[in-house]
Structure 1
């Protein structure tokens, strides 16, 4: 029997969907990327702009993506082809393929960074056990370490994906997300009691409004918001397709975005004060207002800070990097599901075979990034977060607002339901969101 003849797997509960989708959104973008971007772009000013961009652009884009998947009940390639109708079916299908490639791009660098997290967690654990040489190797960046830990993380994600939507994604998200939240809050309480933390708190929570109109800050906030919410690569669309029709998608999407933004905010409360604690202890953290080493900083400064705390510091270090590993795992699951769902539904592959085939493709892409790290790593991240994801979101707005059923899909539904709020939201998606996105791009270009 072909896989297309089998009943389609789905989420079995609303909370399962919210936790899985929030898990997709809550990852290294929140706990690693957001605090780094905030520290480099004015702290409170970045937080302020990030919240505005999330509300005005990222939240509607998330709704559009989930809505397309939920209405079509298909993988992103087929969903966009259907939404674009007979006249533009090829356009929709090609856009879906671009999103699928974007998901593999995201996984190619994400699994490398996730491997770093896992290595640092094990470094703290081996140090606690007295294996100093192994601990030092695990905490030192090297090509060999990347070659070992990137495949380990890819296999971890594949092991969950091949169990299916309910048995794998929903079950593990429901276990991992509460654990992540509890660990994050516990670490914040601990760090905020240390000397120097208050200065970091002030930088983070008190915005300098003179910086909020800086185009570089705005594009950084937009890229971070889209990356953080996993918008534009089809992950949220495929999750939306696994929810039965008739659900209140508006409330579900707001829940996902609120949880995601809350975790990003909490991550800032943890990492920015921790950087100032390290600075207070005599470590050099900033130069000319920017973090030393930027994204790599938490692997250099924070382990050194934890090491000064003795045995307790090693426990904190293990908890911190385990937290990051969990966050990374929940996000890689959704990105992997995008091409897997396409192969299962459109190419009639069984889920297990599709999962391991995509994992092999991601492994090859990751190995290329490791081999040409200095040349490709930063470039791939920049292309994905500041170009591909916002452009795909623009396409979602156009599909829902202009192409679907030759008009504004949401307005059509709103008129049938006599729903004024939905009618306004349809107008907002159709006109305001595309204009806002284009203005941001023009500001950056010029």
Structure 2
């Protein structure tokens, strides 16, 4: 049997895993949620929830994969092997479904980003009709650009872990960061930006206990870190066993949180720049258009800047396309790794089979967009991802005995702090998540 592919460096793993976490959830979802939930208050709660709950969930997911050195289905089956191996494998297969669900809507939105990027550059080249069509909302555009984005992800995935995922993540992530910082500097020079900055970084502490705000922050933390669908588990399995998972998780979390924070620094001040320019941005304290924020408001803002605005628009949506691509890579790798390792498929065949399944799911959403799109997103982010994370905590804290260093008395004797970390994952995290579900049920 051929040796298993893997990451070749710590920085390669961190950039790939951060690339998985950093995506539309950070640059698209986070600023929208922040603007709708008090700006600074949302940011404060988001940081608290990320530290107390999301990072431990990320640790649990990566840890299971790293110890097993296998795909999520096999890893969870092995971890539950003493008591309920079939249930563990079933949970892993639910993660495969979750990955396909995520990809089904993610590739559609990513196609929007790509078409808007090309719209700006087409306008610069003088192709105004093409630019207008690329920026319009149409079924035909979805039918064209969704498959294009699926092909881009497949082209990277089929090259393997080191030559594909690690190499391209190491290239794309620094580019994303540089582009984001440059856009922030540009927006800060516009009238109205400082008002948005104050709204974003100065919290109104009277709002931090609002149920809607807390639920939004928790859902955003899970979605932003891309946990609960097995992507981080498979990445952990490609890292050399027994690496310092804690430090790696902190590195990933820090990068992910930094990008989300910077996205807020860009988009929330940009909203106030647009408002200062006469655009109607808020209605009754909420953003007009919600999820369509960056497609309805920001292109108008960019066009008001003249020719430079076309370039800024192209760069901004190219940035979002990069963020989306690095996230789709990990979700695609989840079912691909399962087919390669358990069904003995070639990576090439598995990649195209999964991509075909994603294409069918995406086209189904396109065909029944108004009915299914919102339901799939809500079902994934508020039900499947949190439930998966709850299961990871239960596995690590209660079910998994053999091979679990958090339950190994000899290991704990050498590193006593592991005992308390194990207790935190075993007791505190499940309770916090159950509180989340209770509040979701009441909301």
How far apart are the structure 1 equivalents of 2:242 and 2:441?
Answer: 41
- Alpha-carbon distance between aligned partners in 2 of 1:31 and 1:7, rounded to the nearest angstrom: 37
- The offset of 1:372, in angstroms, is 0.8
Q: CA RMSD in A?
A: 1.1
Q: Which shows bigger deviation, 422-431 or 11-20?
A: 422-431
- Alignment correspondent of 2:242: 246
Q: Which residue is equivalent to 1:360? A: 356
Conserved 8 A contact 2:123-2:310: yes
- Does structure 2 retain, via aligned residues, the 8 Å contact 1:28–1:328? yes
Aligned equivalent of 1:292: 288
Instruction: Quote the offset at 1:413 in angstroms.
Output: 6.0
Match of 1:217 in 2: 213
Correspondence for 2:417: 421
Matches within 5 A, 1:166-181: 166-181=162-177
Q: Is the 8 A contact 1:415 1:423 kept in 2?
A: no
Return the offset for 1:408. 7.0
Moved more, 359-368 or 416-425: 416-425
What pairs with 1:100-249 in structure 2 (closer than 5 Å)? 100-249=96-245
Q: Does 1:375 align with 2:349?
A: no
Listed as ranges, the matches of 1:24-173 within 5 Å are 24-173=20-169
Aligned to 1:307: 303
Q: Secondary structure at the match of 1:87?
A: coil
Alpha-carbon distance in 1 for matches of 2:199, 2:408: 46
Determine the C-alpha separation between the residues in 1 that align with 2:435 and 2:286. Answer: 27
Give aligned pairs, total: 442
Partner of 1:389: 385
Give the Å deviation of 1:407: 10
Shift in Å at residue 173 of structure 1?
Answer: 0.3
The Cα shift of 1:422 comes to: 1.7
CA separation in 2, counterparts of 1:329 and 1:128? 24
How far does residue 246 in structure 1 lie from its aligned partner after superposition? 2.5
Query: How far off its partner does 1:417 sit?
Result: 5.1
SS at the partner of 2:326?
helix
1:340 is aligned, of 325, 336, 342, to 336
Q: Specify every segment of 5 or more residues in structure 2 that has no aligned partner in the other structure, as ranges.
A: none
For residues 421 and 254 of structure 1, what CA distance do their matches in structure 2 show?
Answer: 17
Choose from 17, 21, 29 the match for 2:13: 17
* Paired residues of 1:223 and 1:385 also in contact (CA < 8 A): yes
- Give the equivalent residue in structure 1 for 2:436: 440
The TM-score normalised by the length of structure 1 is 0.98
Partner of 1:263: 259
For 1:428 and 1:107, locate their aligned partners in 2 and report how far apart those are by CA, in whole Å. 32
Secondary structure of 2:408's match? helix
Give the Cα–Cα distance (whole angstroms) in 1 for the partners of residues 410 and 295 of structure 2.
Answer: 50
- 3-state SS of the aligned residue for 1:305? helix
- Given that residues 15 and 173 in structure 2 are in contact (C-alpha distance below 8 angstroms), is that contact kept between their aligned partners in structure 1? yes
> How far apart, in 2, do the equivalents of 1:348 and 1:318 lie?
42
Q: 2: distance between equivalents of 1:187 and 1:102?
A: 33
Residues 64, 219 of structure 1: CA spacing in aligned structure 2 closer, same or farther, 3 A cutoff? same
Distance, in Å, in 1 between the alignment partners of 2:214 and 2:358 is 31
Partner of 1:11, secondary structure, is coil
Q: 1:414 deviation in Å? A: 6.8
Larger deviation, residues 406-415 vs 147-156: 406-415
Q: Under a length normalisation based on structure 2, what TM-score does the superposition of the two structures give?
A: 0.98
